Amino acid sequence: MSRDARTVGAPSSSVLDEPATGAAPITREELHQLARHRAATPTTSCYLDVDGRHLIRPQDLTRSVDGVLRRARARAGGDPSRLEDLDRIDAYLHSGFDRTGVRGLAIFANEAAGLWKVVPLPCSVPNHVSVGESPLLGPLEVALADHEPIGVLLVDKARLRMLVFSWGELREQEELAGDLLANDFDVSNSRDEAHLDGRANELHDRQVRLAARAAFEVQARSGFRRLVIGGPDHLVADVERNLHPYLRKIYHGRIDLGPGAGHDELRRAVDVAEAEIARALQAAAVDRLRDVAGRPDGRSGVAGLGPVLHALATHRVDRLLVSSGYEAAGWRCPACATLAECGPTCPGCGQTMRPVEDVVSEAVDAAAAERAHIDVCVGNADLDVLGRIGALLRY
């Protein structure tokens, strides 16, 4: 019996000849091309949250997008080139683009210089519009770096499947199906029950080892950063115990599916797991904020609008946490771009600041421009208690 004929991890199917994970929304070459773009006319970089999980109805999306574009137009100062680019972005967004699998958009526009690039992202990004001589790639790079592919291990006593969910795509990595164990387990050869039990245990243990090894080898190959496992409880419990320590660290939990699961139910289960993972990461960041924001040195984190704006002005924000829907009037200095809760004298340069209708969105813009990680938290009561906005600091 050639029971090890199909070794887990050996490239036994054509699937493995393809890239191990789904394609990123933008290629390295395209990113470099954008980074090299320079023109005499200003380039508009527009990041938009189009996530259907909280912008459910088309009118929710329209309201959100219109607010972003209205603020961008107000800041364009009548520059025809900037207004033309905003008009084109506006037209694109109102043309009813396909939101399937898309939670964020990055749009780079400079009509006069022939630049128009839309990058649909399967992850949400905070709303942000900036204008400069070159495209603003920081938020896109942060989104690419923050992307967490999820490994999905499905196991029962006879089958083993390993998939990776990445950039909105679910890809099969390994499949050991069929009579893997049944071949070995020829009941007719033995009537000795103790012997049969022994064989069953042996096969169970072997399946546990194969499953743990498949997860380890696919992780090494594909680099998934979270793991979920589905299968019968007693088997999954033993697989969990046999995971490599690194996999145990990135293990998220169980899903209620086995190796026979269809593509659509797998997609739904992974979507749920992905949302749970994102919420857990946000909750951990808010916990950390709560721990450090009260410290007297104010060095590792700050909470509340005033302290956050001050931290932004001194370029110390590493991670900005803001409650979804939080808006507040404030001030912005036309000379040095400092944001403040109270005006009109700029705390940075002493000039007279101008009032802005929503200094929170200005703060998100400023943080995005500095490549800070930005978490827009939905329904996080702990963050609300801390003043609906906070920041973990670089130093």
Other CB atoms closer than 10 Å to residue 45's CB: what's the count?
26
339, 332 in Cβ contact below 8 A?
A: yes
Per CB under 5 A, 305 contacts Zn ion = no
Site size for Zn ion, by CB under 5 A?
Answer: 8
- Restricting to residues 212-251, which ones interact with Zn ion according to CB under 5 A? none
Name the residue nearer to Zn ion (CB basis): 63 or 354. Answer: 354
Q: Does 340 bind Zn ion (CB under 5 A)?
A: no
Among 9, 52, 348, 387, binds Zn ion (CB under 5 A): 348
Q: Determine the Cα–Cα distance for residues 31 and 88; give it in Å rounded to an integer.
A: 21
Q: Residue 361 interacts with Zn ion (CB under 5 A)? A: no
Are 118 and 91 within 8 A, CB to CB?
A: no
Instruction: Determine the interface stretch with Zn ion among 53-61, 219-227, 325-333, 369-377 (rule: CB under 5 A).
Output: 325-333
Nearer to Zn ion, 56 or 335 (CB): 335
Provide the minimum distance between the beta carbon of 359 and Zn ion in the complex, in angstroms, as a whole number: 14
Q: Which is nearer to Zn ion, 258 or 348 (CB)?
A: 348
Q: How far is the CB of 363 from Zn ion (least distance, A)?
A: 15
Region near Zn ion per CB under 5 A, out of 285-293, 295-303, 308-316, 330-338: 330-338
Q: Among the candidate windows 14-22, 107-115, 146-154, 334-342, which touches Zn ion by CB under 5 A?
A: 334-342
In the complex with Zn ion, which residue's Cβ is closer, 232 or 344? 344
Q: Which of 143-151, 160-168, 276-284, 335-343 is the region at the interface with Zn ion (rule: CB under 5 A)?
A: 335-343
Q: Does 130 bind Zn ion (CB under 5 A)?
A: no
Q: Does 335 bind Zn ion (CB under 5 A)?
A: yes
Angle at CA of residue 146, ends 140 and 152, nearest 5°: 130
Whether the CB-CB separation of 137 and 31 falls below 8 Å is answered with yes
Binding range to Zn ion, per CB under 5 A, among 144-152, 168-176, 328-336, 367-375: 328-336
Q: Which of 182, 192, 175, 125 is nearest to 157 (CA)?
A: 182
Q: ∠ CA 48-150-376 to the nearest 5 degrees?
A: 30
Q: Which residues of 281-317 are buried (b: 16+ CB within 10 A; e: fewer)?
A: ebeebbebbbebbeeeebebbbbebebbbbbbbeebb
Do the Cβ atoms of 83 and 134 come closer than 8 Å?
no
Tell which one of 176, 333, 367, 389 touches Zn ion (CB under 5 A): 333
To Zn ion, the closest distance from the beta carbon of 304 in angstroms equals: 21
Residues 6+ positions from 43 with CB-CB distance below 8 Å: 37, 85, 108, 109, 110, 113, 115, 131, 132, 133, 134, 135
How many Cβ atoms are within 10 Å of 56's Cβ, its own excluded?
10
Least CB distance from residue 312 to Zn ion, whole Å?
13
How far apart CA 215 and CA 229 sit, in angstroms, is 10
- Least separation in angstroms between residue 349's CB and Zn ion is 3
Q: Is 342 in the site for Zn ion (CB under 5 A)?
A: no
DSSP 151-185: EEEEE-SS-EEEEEEETTEEEEEEEE-SSTTTTT-
Question: Is 275 one of the binding residues for Zn ion (CB under 5 A)?
Answer: no
Q: Report the residue number, 304 or 348, with the smaller CB distance to Zn ion.
A: 348
Give me the torsion for CA of 136, 139, 141, 144, rounded to 10°.
-140
Q: Residue from 21, 338, 361, 380 that binds Zn ion (CB under 5 A)?
A: 338
* Cα separation, 119 vs 225, whole angstroms: 23
Q: Does 349 bind Zn ion (CB under 5 A)?
A: yes
Site for Zn ion, rule CB under 5 A: 333, 335-336, 338, 346, 348-349, 351
